[in-house]
Chains A and B, each alone.
Chain A
Amino acid sequence: MNRSSKILRYVSRRLLQGIPIILAIVVMNFFLLNLAEGDAVDVLAGEAGSATPEYMEEMRKKFGLDKPLTVQLAHYLKNVVQLDLGYSFRHDMQVTELIVDRFWPTLLLMVSTILLAVGFGVLLGLFAAVNLNTWKDAVVSVFALITYATPLFWVGLMMIILFSIKNDWFPTSGMENSAAFYEGFDRLKDIAHHLVLPTITLSLFYLALYTRMMRASMLEQYGQDYVITARAKGVSERRITFIHVLRNALLPVVTMAGVQVGALIGGSVIVESVFAWPGLGMLAFESLFARDLNLLLGIFLLSSGLVVAVNLVVDVIYCFLDPRIEVN
């Protein structure tokens, strides 16, 4: 069997493995929902202002809330499979619809952050490893050490103080200047302008993480036997660094990039709420205050699914980078 069909089989197997995970998360979701004080009817009643106990009982029947837990779970599962995540009374919209709406800004933020963090992290780590034990290495390492310890929201606030309040270089909040009604290229430029601060904020921590990992990984690979073999063949140091060592050193960093996506989504809640970026994180923040648990759980479910998906993508990339992965 050739390699590409092996990889295809591997991917489908991983896809299958993702299903029980998602299922487990959905079930957990259901129980968390039940754990919360009050049910949908209480919330609804609260929204309406006044409701008689009889009316609430009727509503419960209507929603199936009087049924045994297992029946309710089956009902919930059926709904989730049909992509029905319930109704957000606060926004007066289907949760699914709302989430899909807010998904794109988050995706934009995430993609730009991953590119920035992984790209620069790899470069900085490489740079530090190549200049090991010089002042260049020291500067990079100290930078990584400090950013690694800085809370995201504080970085965001400091960015706003420095670049928006003291110097009016970047906007403080939002994704675009909707009052300006830009179109086409101008709109893109406007969005990019708004994207700068949130992206930098969100990526700093991960940039530090990848820098440190890349540096450590490079140093580890330099100590491997195959490096000596390459030197014994008369291969230049340049080629050893950039061809032999780099490719091997990237492997753990790629794995880590996948693992960290979950954390990145978590970080986006904070960054989006600092910069009022209209994505899922902002939505989650709003639903917190509104105590809109249905919505919060929907976001939670989607982001978990996203992590599973990204991990799958990372696994496939890994397959191409590391021929040793036995895809059977």
Chain B
Amino acid sequence: MTEFWNRFSCNRQAVLGLIILGCVIFLASIANLIYPNDPFLYSRFPLSGPGENGFLLGSDSIGRDVAAGIAHGAKTSLLIGLIATIAAVFIGVIFGALAGYYGGLVDDILMRVTEVFQTIPSFIFAILLVAIMKPSIESVVIAITVVSWPAVARLVRGEFLALKNREFVQACHTLGMGDLRIMLAEILPNCLSPIIVIGSLMVATAILVESGLAFLGLGDPNVMSWGFIISDGRSMLRVAWWICTFPGIAILITVLAINLVGEGLNDALNPRLRERN
């Protein structure tokens, strides 16, 4: 663990990413303290520029505070990204492990299913799912999960496929060890590093997808999110550039930070592992 931390902290970019991410998480956790009011609350000062009328980052067309929106939106983005990723990793690991370990017909069937899901343009599929389920936090999480598990499944399948023929796994068979124990206790720990890496990068992608959905008006209408502010400020682009600009920068910085951390993890956990999708 200390060895891992040493390698990770050698990577300046990764440490920078971790610091930024820490700040975003901090912002999300104190959002209720610094902006105790509902971020949807409108005021008498629409379209104030940054710094005017006590709005740090300006206000939108009906006078809602952009800065408050960003603070509360951070919570939404991080939460959705995290939950969807955990769910997707869970499903992907199960699919990939079964397909890779058992091979043959099981693999054929599971991988065809995965292939179908990978063929479908994921963002359109997500739009479709949210549209059918009606926009809400839950439907957004489900949609992101549904479109992102195949990548994990493929990765885990590949790892299992390679590892199951390793001699240490064969040795377990000769000892009479059961399949479930071999999968969970012997093989899975050996592919945790790539799973952690792909998981961390998936959080970033999930945040991008969530903001995209919100931008198209498919966010939960009762929950403040970065994509929502941008989508709402779009029509005011000519008169109030700040409404769209700041939440976008928030997304950019957060996603960038997560990507940096993810790459740092990649380098630190497995120097030979290269970029995978």
Contacts and interface: CB of A to CB of B under 8 A. Distances in A.
Contact of A303 (B121, B215, B216, B255): B121
Contacts, number: 141
B234 interface: yes
A266 B128 contact: no
Contacts of B129: 32
Interface stretch (A63-71, A82-90, A156-164): A156-164
A25 B119 contact: yes
Interface in A144-170: 145-146, 148-154, 157-158, 160-161, 165
Interface band, chain A: 35 or more
Interface string B146-168: 00000000000000000000000
Contact of B123 (A35, A150, A266): A266
Contact of B256 (A149, A161, A216, A307): A149
A155 to B, nearest CB: 8
B132 A293 contact: yes
Given A149-B204, A256-B277, A285-B216, A262 B230 contact: no
A250 interface: no
Contacts of B227: 151, 153
Contacts of A308: 119
Contacts of A149: 204, 252-253, 255-256, 259
B77 to A, nearest CB: 11
Interface residues of B, number: 48
Given A149-B204, A154-B244, A220-B274, A266 B256 contact: no
Chain B at the A interface: SS class: helix
A300 interface: yes
B119 A262 contact: yes
A24 to B, nearest CB: 5
Interface of B: 112-113, 115-116, 118-129, 131-132, 134, 204, 208, 211-212, 215-218, 227, 230-231, 234, 237-238, 241, 244-245, 247-248, 251-253, 255-256, 259-260, 274-275, 277
Given A263-B122, A266-B124, A297-B128, 11 more contacts: A149-B204, A150-B248, A151-B252, A153-B211, A153-B230, A154-B252, A262-B118, A262-B119, A284-B124, A299-B124, A307-B119
